[in-house]
Amino acid sequence: MTNNNYVRIFDTTLRDGEQSPGATMTSAEKLEVAHNLARLGVDIIEAGFPAASPDDLEAVRRIALEVGNPAHPESEARVPVIAGLARANKPDIDKAWEAVQGAKKPRIHTFLATSPIHMKHKLKMDPEEVIQRVSEMVTYAKSLCADVEFSPEDAGRSEPEFLYVVLGEAIKAGATTLNIPDTVGYTTPDEFYALIDGIIKHTPGMHDGITVSVHCHDDLGLATANTLAGIRAGARQAEVTMNGIGERAGNTSLEEVVMALKTRHPVFGLDTGIETQQLSRISKLVSNYTGIVVQPNKAIVGSNAFAHEAGIHQDGMLKHQSTYEIMRPEDVGVNQTNLVLGKHSGRAALRNRLAEMGHSLDDVELDKAFARFKDLADRKKVITDLDLEALIADEFYKPRDVYLLSGLQVTSGTMGMPTATVRLRGPDGVIHTVATIGTGPVDATYKAIDQIVSVPCTLLEFNIHAITEGIDALGEVTVRIQSESGATTMDAQSEVEYVRVYGGHGADSDIIVASAKAYINALNKLIVAQTEGKGKVPNDFGVMLG
């Protein structure tokens, strides 16, 4: 077993995180997130589940070729491993290898369930058959790829003695990483520590070349605690997602594990390769692409993580920062300083500040951002870093425009019925204008958009909040819509049915305009997916590794 003071960060935002209902990303979005994860310093990027669909395979292949082969890496060590997930069968493993083989450091990650309940009810296999399948499929994966990871799905509810046998066979077949998933978030920290400790001590063939990994879910709110317990027991790889997104209650949060190891370094004595100053920015990127809002009280990256309102807390902070903050906001990329830019500011000042915030824009992108910035500066006296983050997200972190908002006028109040007149530019360049009445200005706006776009969908969620303080605050809206086109099977091997859910994001100083942008953003994703036949990955694929 690997025995050192370095914990590898295995990010599965693009695979397990994307399984969160409504979080499905396009290939271009996944590629952008992968580039940012590489810059963040993650060691392994699990880019997807190639057997799920041709689009997922292509997304993983592009990530392997572009992110897994950077033109100018800082060093060989900084090139991330690109992994593809595969069930323990040859067709899945073949597709995983097809997708990742172009990377400088490819990995095949295969899995098979080992808990009594999964073997009996899902696999319908007896323990001997499971052992045989693991041996055969890890051997097959090893014949294709030197780096093979094996996971016994639902290890948290598996018999430890059986795990020792299965993992021993995986080692014998060539696996060099053994990932132990608490697939359903069932264990407690003490139990998980004992499980990892027992695996390290009792698995046949365990040696210094083997890395033990942990992958925990948050069904009982214990994912990060369990992951840290596993690390203390000797695991040296943590499987995590940005913002903790994932199936059901989510996965272990990357930022929580990394900052716990950094902040409590005297306790753990362990390091990671993560550039923590980028955490806040990438958290925002993932939130915008998936449409999943980060809760204000979320540890590390939530908007309230470094906010203090109670008088006692404010008094302590004024006297010394460490009274109520155990880490500096700057350590995770949160800049508390207002950036005073206005309508007289130039491109150079904007480019410089965006670069400091981690956004590298070319001349064309800067022109677009500058135009949006000037428009906002005409309506808002002081523009903060948070305003700029929202502006960049709204301008660049969005799907290809199919319909584009070109005009909006609403009337509301107690004297008449709320009315919205919406003007959209369609995919053919034609301008469409519709006026409708609703129960409120947003309802009227959405009804008008529906009449123009004519794509059947249901609005599932609508969230609105102010980016900054003050009456002129920039407003941010996120929505989720559900396609009404019906359920579809994933592939020939699966009978799982699903209905697609799409997230949308919009920001503007006018909250009705932001609402319209968010809805159109989500509709554009739906239209692109339907017209290009993309996104055949279900939101909750029951046989995937938790």
CA neighbor of 84 nearest in space, from 41, 124, 34: 34
Window from 274-283, 330-339, 486-495 with minimum mean pLDDT: 486-495
Per the structure, how many domains does the chain have? Answer: 3
- Among residues 375, 396, 417, the one where a domain terminates is 396
Per-residue model confidence (pLDDT) at position 412: 87
What average pLDDT does the segment 326-334 reach?
Answer: 82
412 and 392 belong to one structural domain:
no
Window from 160-164, 176-180, 287-291 with minimum mean pLDDT: 287-291
Q: Is residue 296 part of a domain?
A: no
- Among residues 345, 363, 396, the one where a domain terminates is 396
Per-residue model confidence (pLDDT) at position 533: 56
Window from 68-77, 259-268, 281-290 with minimum mean pLDDT: 68-77
Could you say which DSSP state residue 294 is in? Answer: P
Per-residue model confidence (pLDDT) at position 540: 28
Query: Using CB atoms within 10 A of its CB, is residue 164 exposed (0-12), middle (13-18) or buried (19+)?
Result: middle
383 and 423 belong to one structural domain:
no
Contacting residues for 213 by C-beta, under 8 A, at least 6 apart: 8, 10, 149, 177, 178, 179, 180, 235, 236, 237, 238, 239
Q: Is residue 542 part of a domain?
A: no
Q: Is residue 442 part of a domain?
A: yes
First-to-last C-alpha distance (Å) of the chain: 24
Window from 323-337, 426-440, 443-457, 518-532 with minimum mean pLDDT: 323-337
What average pLDDT does the segment 444-454 reach?
Answer: 96
445 and 478 belong to one structural domain:
yes
Query: Using CB atoms within 10 A of its CB, is residue 70 exposed (0-12), middle (13-18) or buried (19+)?
Result: middle
126 and 71 belong to one structural domain:
yes
Full residue range of the structural domain in which residue 515 is found: 404-532
**Dist CA 451 CA 513 (whole Å):** 17
Per-residue model confidence (pLDDT) at position 332: 86
**CATH code where residue 88 lies:** 3.20.20.70
Q: Is residue 543 part of a domain?
A: no
What average pLDDT does the segment 86-109 reach?
Answer: 98
240 and 138 belong to one structural domain:
yes
76 and 216 belong to one structural domain:
yes
| % of residues, the chain, pLDDT over 70 | 83
Q: Which residues pair with 286 in a beta bridge?
A: none
363 and 409 belong to one structural domain:
no
Cα–Cα distance list, 433 to 70, 440, 525 (Å):
46, 19, 22
Q: Is residue 210 part of a domain?
A: yes
Higher pLDDT among residues 372 and 165, named by residue = 165
Per-residue model confidence (pLDDT) at position 309: 44
What average pLDDT does the segment 301-330 reach?
Answer: 66
243 and 146 belong to one structural domain:
yes
- Among residues 355, 373, 396, the one where a domain terminates is 396
329 and 237 belong to one structural domain:
no
Q: Is residue 512 part of a domain?
A: yes
**Dist CA 163 CA 159 (whole Å):** 6
Q: Which residue has the tokens 């155990």?
A: 326
**Dist CA 179 CA 344 (whole Å):** 55
412 and 369 belong to one structural domain:
no
**CATH code where residue 427 lies:** 3.30.160.270
Question: How many CB atoms within 10 Å of residue 397?
Answer: 18
64 and 155 belong to one structural domain:
yes
Q: Is residue 230 part of a domain?
A: yes
- pLDDT of 487 over the 60 cut: no
345 and 493 belong to one structural domain:
no
Q: Is residue 306 part of a domain?
A: no
> Residue 502, SS3?
strand
Tokens at 127, concatenated: 């323990």
What average pLDDT does the segment 184-209 reach?
Answer: 97
pLDDT averaged over the chain? 86
